[in-house]
Amino acid sequence: MQALHLTSHSAAPALTALPVPAPGPGQLRLRIHACGLNFADLLMIKGSYQDTPALPFTLGMEVAGIVDALGPGPSGPAPGTRVAVYGGHGGLAEYGCFDAARALPLPDSMGFDAAAAFQIAYGTSHLALAHRARLSAGETLLVLGAAGGVGLTAVEIGHAMGARVIACARGAARLEAARAAGADHLIDAETDDIRAACKDLGGADVVYDPVGGAQFTAAFRACRPEARILTIGFASGDVPQIPANHLLVKNLTVMGLYWGGYLSFAPDVLTGSLATLLDWAAQGRITPRAHHSYPLERATEGLDLLRTRQSTGKIVVTM
């Protein structure tokens, strides 16, 4: 089989011929149809992600496909079942073996591309907004990086939860994508003063921030009293330093969200969130989709699009 394999953190990943793996105890083997790309893939290439596997390994955190075989031990979805799986790595390949307990049977209405774009992006935003920040209908949600892979889902989920959504992104095309996802107000990060624009709209009750850097600082200063600020990631490359005295004055709360971490300490919270989201998708309350698609032999082009922050929404690789 073909796989995008990494053998050194100082070299680029390469398409490599590998043996088709055999599933171990409690695993299933998946014939992979699509794999979602994530910013964490770029960090794994550099060796700076908190869950980077030991070298060598195949990239690709989340996949969708058809169960091909089951290993010994606890049963999983039967061969032939369409599923999505979060494996952490191993997804940018034609076959992969994953923990069967993590497999989510897909509704008939959800294609493989959408399913591969679904788990991390929608799961992160739902856990952040519903479980961590306890976003309520009628509150104002400010989403930074609102046209990125997770940011666009935060706009969509915030809208579905009844919030007033302010979307902040770079350029008219990305802002239009955020408007289509449900944003009520738009801030252009290239030309607008984020703090002033948000304050003119009454300030934010919840801030969703996958960007960090100067945008975090601007949003921090545009918060209402008792606002909750969600740190999702640092796509800007700048990890902000938080002035604790300002937290005190406004009674602010800053909270982190690492979606994958819930698998180790509260897996039921994560699986319950995904079940809710699959139900919402079946009802039409959210519409998971892939916004960019590349075949496996062009997977590095998808990674480059992610690296340069030129994508709008989610990028998937198809097999």
Distance of CA 199 to the CA centre of its chain: 28
Tell me the pLDDT of the chain averaged across its residues: 95
Average pLDDT over residues 164-181: 96
Close Cβ partners of 156 (under 8 Å, ≥ 6 residues apart): 125, 181, 182, 286, 287
Residue environment code for 15-25, b if the CB has 16+ CB neighbours within 10 A, otherwise e: eeeeeebebee
Quote the DSSP letter at residue 88. Answer: S
pLDDT of amino acid 75: 82
pLDDT at 121 > cutoff 90 = yes
Over residues 209-245, the pLDDT tens digits come to 999 999 999 999 999 999 999 999 998 989 999 999 9
Over residues 150-170, the pLDDT tens digits come to 999 999 999 999 999 999 999
pLDDT at 118 > cutoff 90 = yes
Over residues 293-311, the pLDDT tens digits come to 999 999 999 999 999 988 8
Query: Cα(208)–Cα(212) distance, rounded to whole angstroms?
Result: 10
Over residues 251-301, the pLDDT tens digits come to 999 999 999 999 999 999 999 999 999 999 989 999 999 999 999 999 999
119 falls in which pLDDT band (50, 70, 90)? very high
Q: In order of start, what are the domains of the chain with their CATH numbers?
A: 2-104+288-318 (3.90.180.10), 121-258 (3.90.180.10)
